Every structure is written in structure tokens, then in C-alpha cells.
Chain A
């Protein structure tokens, strides 16, 4: 009985928290089904219309499906690169005998990179991308996002790599495993949960990144946030179209998060105890 009351109290508190978090979200989604003037007049009841969704998806001036494709490709590729670099980097930093100061310097560097407002980096990236012909290509943005997310991934993967039992590594070495075999066969399975956790965060961050995407993309390579920002105009913030686009853009990230949730939590779980 006490246990049951305990549980319902918990559920009540969760419901309260859920409401606080979900209500504005629900309101945003609902806004996508309104007309601009109904929203601005503060009408509580409204007749739902699909016009905002239609405009976002099918109007001539909108490339939303292209934007979704771009964001997906950039998100996946930049995540893959960041994870690969972070895993090797973390392995190298924590498992090879680098001088301590060097390891600290690199980790510190990762932190500095993470601190710089992306607006201040974007200009320099554009010049570099232009110099090697990567401007207005998905590759330019993939590299930029991988760079932006690498510090976070490096920190997270560091935690997991340090966890790999030294005995396993030595046993594998005794069996004559080369470094690539060792990483692929022994280390990778052990850090997989970490990869999942870091990967999802990288993906979501890339999916929502705005400043670099704006500077490094053109019409054919624009990402979803850049497309959404176009609804915030000087004369009118086109709230309903923005809401519709935002609701649509949350779908892939939400799906990913739901599907990968088990691994993320497991991954973060293992990482967090260290």
C-alpha cells in the first residue's frame, strides 16, 4: 500500500514535470496548424488548417525536403567522422605513452575549441573551404560539424576508452593482434555503448546547428535550421510556417532518440560512473 502511494506520488510529480516540458512543445506543434492571424489574435479555439505544412513542404520557394536530406547526410557523416576521430584520438591519448603535458594540452585545446562562439569561427572556415573548393558542398559542412562536435565526442570517448581493461588488451597483444585488429575486435565492442551515446548527441547537435551552416551553405546545401530561420523575416516572423517546419524537423531526431534510447542510456550509464 505504501509502495503504491509512493508510486502514484512519483507519477504525479512526473506528470507535472512532463506538462511543463511538453505543453510549450504541444503548443508549438498546434501553432503549425493555425493561420498567422489566428495565432496573433490569441484565439484559443481555431479551425486547424494544413496550409502552413503545405507551404513548408510543397511551395515553390521552399526546399524543405532537400534541406531535410542535407541535414540528414551532414548529421550522419559528421557524426561518423567525429566518432571515428574521437575513438582513435581517445585511444591514442589514454593508451599510448604520450607525455602527460601533451595529453592535457590536447584535452584543454578541445575545451577551448568548444568555448569559441561558432560565429567567430565561421568566417575563417569559409575562407579555408573556398581555398580547397569545399564551399557550397556538403563535405565542407560535414567537416565543420565534425570539428564542432569532436571535443565533446573526445571527452566522452575518453571515459570509455580508459575503462577498457588493460588485461584484455595485453591478452590480445600476446595472441599477436595488430593494433587495428585489437581496436576492431576488442576495443570497439567494449566502447559501443559510448559510441551510441556520443553519436546521438553529435547528431542532434549537428541537426540543430545554425551559425556555421548559414555561412558554409548555399541553396543546394542549406540545412533545416537555415531553412527555418528564413521564416524569421524583418517584417514578419512567420510563426506558423516556422512552427510547422520545426515540428517536422523534430521527427527524425525524435525517432533516432527513441530507437537509440536504450543504448544511449546504457552508454551514458557506463560513462557516467567514471
Chain B
């Protein structure tokens, strides 16, 4: 049975390679050189999708005879590892798996070499998600738009989705998925039975990128934003606009009246813990946690969770903040290794490779994979909501100093949620601190009238 599936996968992937070759025209040369392809090292972090990625890599090795080594790190250590490597005279890792929190640093710092500089024949597959155009970078204008060069290929298109208890919805006669903030709030209130069941569990703790990341779908779903227009280099701080206030007040109200009493101390792992132990009716969390939900060793809510795109206000699209992973080729490694890394990316982006990834438990980056019959299977029921939400994904930061801004948001939001300060005071305070950081780093910025 297993062998059968592998055989089928191999055939399909081979087909995909053929199609890719037709599209790029450069592939035959590359394929011919594969016997002599330099081995590459990929620096990556431990995650729920690592196992599927690893097996996808093994598939690549089997098909092409290339040699790929994975340097797996704890989540916390991956960035330090990559900085160490790219800043040295010669790097230790060829392919960097970069998180949404730090890829801008790698682009701006010139550490990642454009893929099309390495292989001028490289063609981006048509249906690969460009994820807020974060795979492109214009080094002159310092913007991320398709006019820039191709810098990376997505590895995991992570965004938050709404997880909700389908079984409880049925028992309580609630129709349909929670698509608007009004629906989410009324459904959460209906299912709120503390301390056995919380209407919603939110991730309000201060961390490296914790409460801020949890807040983005609320902020952008309400039509708010942190900056006026990053693509145009307009960094006027708009966090304390009325939309921002509505969003934060909503978030806090939900936490207080239909949420977890410890919201201000909950980290992502604890939010998910609350859901898998059956103590929460909703959470808005990165799609990658899906694999925990149906695993009987790790979950008490097997087959009970359903997915939907994050809510928005009536008339606005869903607006999930990107928490994705991109693969870029390190500048400071030998040419043959750079070419080998680019060849891997060329293969990885194909529909065939992505369908294979999905079957191995990964989250595909090519829209074609979401039309594959597997998207109809019960265990892959997160695929359709994800495909629906992905085109609306928002890239929150397009500049390398984002971590300083995030630190401000983490403290300010956490204090507001803990009730130490009012939402208005928090928003005004964070806004002026962010404007200060932007001005210090030489960006065109400004402030709105403080909220009152």
C-alpha cells in the first residue's frame, strides 16, 4: 500500500519535472548536471511541518541523486545560526529557511542572492503564492514588489486561520463558520462556560512575536494598519487610528467576556494546549497546528475541529498576517552550491512536488496543489479555507528593523490586555514609540493626532 503510493508519487513528480522543464527551458541542462550537483546544507528550525519537509527533501534526493543535508535547530536558535553563517566570510549553510520576522533583514543586508542572478533561466511557477510579494525585493527602492528580483521561494505559507469546534456548533445549532467579527463574538459568547469551556482562547503573552502576531488579524480585519503604505515607503504610523482602537477594544472585550482569564499570560503552545484538551471553542492560530488536532496521542478533540479564514468586519476581506517561511540562497557560499540550492528550489515549487508535500503532511505553496483531490479529504479539511485566505495575506513589515517595532507592540498590547493601561493610552504610546524608531532609522514617518 505504502509502496504503491510512493510509486504513484514518483511518477507524478517526474511528470511535474517534465512540465517545469518545458516552462523554463533551462531545466534539461540542470537535470543533466545533477549527477555532479554539489551537496547542499539547509538551515531550518524544528516545527510541525519539518517532518513533511524532510521527507519531501528525501524524495528530491531519490529522484535526482542530489545530496541535501538539513541542519535542524530549535525554533529560537535558527535566526542566530543564520546570522552567524551569512555574516562570516564564507557561510556554513547554503539555503536559509527564513521566517516572516527576519527575511527582510536578510534581503536588506544583502545576505541572500537573487535566484535569477544565480540561474538566469529560473522561472517562478505560475501558481506559487507570492505571499504579499515578499519573495521579491527591489534593492534600489528597498521595496517588495514584483518589479524587484526573485529572492526566495516560499517553503511554508503560514498564516492564521480560525479553528472552531464544529461539534459544539452543531450541538448548539450555530450555522456556518464564523466569518465576521460579530459572528465570532456572538458564537464565542454562546459557547463560553468557564472554567470548563472558554468561548475563545487568545495568545496575549509578551514574547518575541506573540501577542502582536495574534492581534494582526483583528487590526487588519477591522481595516486598521500599523503604517500607512509600506510599498510606497510611507511609514506614517496609523496604529492609533479609530480602526485600531475598535480592533483593540474588540480584542480585549472578547478576552474579558468570552475568553480565557489568563489571556495576558498565554503563549501559543498554551493556546493550542487549551484547544486540544477541549477547553476552548475557538482560536485564531497559524494553520501549522492542524496536525496536532487529529492526532489521538496529542489531542482530545480528534475530528471535532473545523477551519475558516480569520474573521473581518462586514464588507472587508479577511486579513491574516503572514507568518510564513521563505527559502533564500546564501550569498557567501561557493557558486556550485548556490546553483545546487537554486535547482532544489526549482524542483520544490512544482505542482507535483507540492502535491507530494501535502500528502506527506506539509502545507503546499502552489495553488495547484489545493485543487488536487486530496483537498476534499476529511483530514485535509483545512486546505480550502487556507486557499481562500492566502491571497489576502498581509505582510506586516517590509523593513529590517521590524523586531524593534515588535518589541514595542508586545509590551504595549500585553499591558493593555492585562488591564495595566487603557487601550487608548496603549495605542497612543506605542504609536509615538514606533514613529521614533522609524525616524531614528531614517524612514519617512509621521504621527496621527493622538486618540482621546
- A and B, direct touch (CB closer than 8 Å): yes
B297, A51: Cβ atoms under 8 Å?
yes
What chain B residues lie within 8 Å of A226 (beta carbons)? 73-74, 77
- In the bound complex, how far is the Cα of B292 from the Cα of A226, in angstroms? 23
Shortest distance from the beta carbon of B244 to any chain A beta carbon, whole Å: 26
What is the count of residue pairs linking A and B with beta-carbon distances less than 8 angstroms? 96
Complex: chain A residue closest to B55, CB-CB:
A60
Complex: chain B residue closest to A229, CB-CB:
B74
Q: Could you give, for residues 227-245 of chain A, a 1 whenever the CB lies within 8 Å of some chain B CB and a 0 otherwise?
A: 0011111111100000000
Complex: chain A residue closest to B296, CB-CB:
A37
**Interface membership of B140, Cβ < 8 A:** no
Q: Could you give, for residues 36-72 of chain A, a 1 whenever the CB lies within 8 Å of some chain B CB and a 0 otherwise?
A: 1100110000000001000000001100000000000
What chain A residues lie within 8 Å of B72 (beta carbons)? 61, 219, 230
**Interface membership of B212, Cβ < 8 A:** no
What chain A residues lie within 8 Å of B87 (beta carbons)? 127
- In the bound complex, how far is the Cα of B81 from the Cα of A226, in angstroms? 13
What chain A residues lie within 8 Å of B288 (beta carbons)? 235
What number of A residues sit within 8 Å (CB to CB) of B? Answer: 29
A233, B277: Cβ atoms under 8 Å?
no
A214, B277: Cβ atoms under 8 Å?
no
The 8 Å CB contact of A61, one of B54, B69, B84, B272, is B54
Stretch touching chain A among B42-50, B362-370, B425-433 = B42-50
- In the bound complex, how far is the Cα of B185 from the Cα of A43, in angstroms? 32
What chain A residues lie within 8 Å of B47 (beta carbons)? 233-235
**Interface membership of A104, Cβ < 8 A:** no
A40, B276: Cβ atoms under 8 Å?
yes
A235, B292: Cβ atoms under 8 Å?
yes
Q: Could you give, for residues 196-232 of chain A, a 1 whenever the CB lies within 8 Å of some chain B CB and a 0 otherwise?
A: 0000000000000000001100110000001001111
What chain B residues lie within 8 Å of A61 (beta carbons)? 50-51, 54, 72
Given A122-B80, A215-B80, 5 further pairs, Cβ under 8 A: A36-B298, A37-B276, A37-B277, A214-B81, A235-B269
Measured CB to CB, the residues of B under 8 A from A are 41, 46-48, 50-51, 54, 69-77, 80-81, 84, 87-90, 92, 268-269, 272-273, 276-277, 285-286, 288-289, 292, 296-300
The 3 A-B residue pairs whose C-beta atoms are closest, nearest first, are A229-B74, A230-B46, A36-B298
Q: List 8 A-B contacts (CB under 8 A).
A: A122-B80, A218-B71, A231-B46, A233-B75, A234-B269, A235-B289, A235-B292, A236-B273
